[in-house]
Amino acid sequence: MVGREIVPRVSRSSRPPGDPVLIVRNLQVANDQGALAVKGISFEVRAGEIFGIAGVEGNGQSELVQALAGLRPIRSGEISLNGAEIKHLTPLDLYRLGGAHIPEDRLRFGLALNFDLAENSILSRQREPAFSTRMGRLNWNAILSYARQLVERFNVLAPGLHTPVRSLSGGNQQRLLVGRELSKEPVLVIAVHPTRGLDIASTVYIRELLVQMRDEGKGVLLVSADLDEVLEISDRIAVMYEGQFIGSGKVEELSREEIGLMMGGITPKGRDESALASSPTSD
C-alpha cells in the first residue's frame, strides 16, 4: 500500500500461554463454487496468545474463518472449541461456547446498517437472557443501557442510541462491532481484518483492545492481510497460501522478508509443519 501513515506500535506484555481454546485438525472447506478452498489445515489457539494468520487475500482465509464461525459447512476435519468437539458448527454454538467473531466485512456480516445503534449492539446476542425474556420479549431497558455502556466504554461517537448505524463513520461502526464482540466475555476472539479502512486512532485502539484481550488470558485468532498488523500483535504466525499453511512459527523466529516470500508461495527454509500443531512441550 502506498502512502500509509505510520501507526504507533501497541505495547504488550509477555506471558506464557495457557491451554488451547481452539483446536483445528485437518480442516477442509469448500468455497462458493464447490472447490476446496481450505485444504486440510491444523492448528491451535491457546488462551493468552494471539495467533496470527497472514497471507494474500483469497488464499482461503475467508472460508477458513467462516467455517470456524459456523457460517460455512465443513467438508471434513475436526474443530474443538473450548473443550467441546463440534461437527456441525453454527454461529450460536460459537457464541454459546465462548467465541466472539469480528467478521471480515463488517457491512456484510457484522452490522445491519438500517438498524439503529441499540439494535446493532445486541446483534448475535439477541437471544441472551439479559436482552430477551423466555417468552421472547425484548428487554429494551436492558438493551439501551447496555448500548449506552458500549458507547461509553469503546468510545463510539454517535448522536444517539437511535441513530441508524449507516450514518456512523467506519471507525465508529467498527468500534461498536468490536466492542459488542469483546464484551461477550469470550474465551476465543476471531478477528478478521479488524482495522481495515479505519482511521489511525481507531486502528491503534482496536489493536490495543485485542492485546488487552490476550493479556486477560483469552485466545485470539487474528486474520489479516496487513502484515504489519500481524507482526505487531501476534505471538505466533502462520502464513496461508492456496488453502494451506505454507509456514509458521513464533513471531520472533520469523523475519518480515521471510513471511513476505511465503505470502508469495515461496518457502525459503522448507519449514516442516510440526511447528503448527505446537504443543506446550515443543516450545
Q: Does residue number 127 form part of the binding site for other proteins (CB under 8 A)?
A: yes
Q: Does residue number 110 form part of the binding site for other proteins (CB under 8 A)?
A: yes
Closest CA to 155 of 100, 219, 209: 209
Q: Does residue number 183 form part of the binding site for other proteins (CB under 8 A)?
A: no
Q: Does residue number 114 form part of the binding site for other proteins (CB under 8 A)?
A: yes
Among 7, 123, 204, 231, binds other proteins (CB under 8 A): 123
**DSSP string computed for 51-94:** EEEE--TTSSHHHHHHHHTTSS--SEEEEEETTEEESS--HHHH
Q: Does residue number 119 form part of the binding site for other proteins (CB under 8 A)?
A: yes
CB of 120 to other proteins, least distance (A): 9
Q: Which is nearer to other proteins, 127 or 153 (CB)?
A: 127
Q: Does residue number 112 form part of the binding site for other proteins (CB under 8 A)?
A: yes
Task: Cell 508461495: give the residue.
Answer: 265
Pull the grid cell for residue 172: 465508529
Among 43, 51, 95, 241, binds other proteins (CB under 8 A): 95
Sheet arrangement for strand 236-241: 99-102, 188-192, 219-223, 50-54, 236-241, 244-250
Q: Which is nearer to other proteins, 95 or 241 (CB)?
A: 95
Per CB under 8 A, contacts with other proteins among 140-159 are 140
Q: Return the H-helix or E-strand segment holding 182.
A: helix 170-182
Q: Does residue number 221 form part of the binding site for other proteins (CB under 8 A)?
A: no
Task: Cell 461517537: give the residue.
Answer: 157
Among 3, 16, 34, 136, binds other proteins (CB under 8 A): 136
Q: Does residue number 267 form part of the binding site for other proteins (CB under 8 A)?
A: no
User: How far apart (Å, rounded) are the C-alpha atoms in residues 122 and 32?
Assistant: 29
User: How far apart (Å, rounded) are the C-alpha atoms in residues 237 and 221?
Assistant: 10
Q: Does residue number 92 form part of the binding site for other proteins (CB under 8 A)?
A: yes
Task: Cell 456441525: give the residue.
Answer: 88
Q: Which residues bind other proteins (CB under 8 A)?
A: 69-71, 90-92, 95, 101, 103, 108-116, 119, 122-124, 126-127, 131-132, 136-138, 140, 160, 162
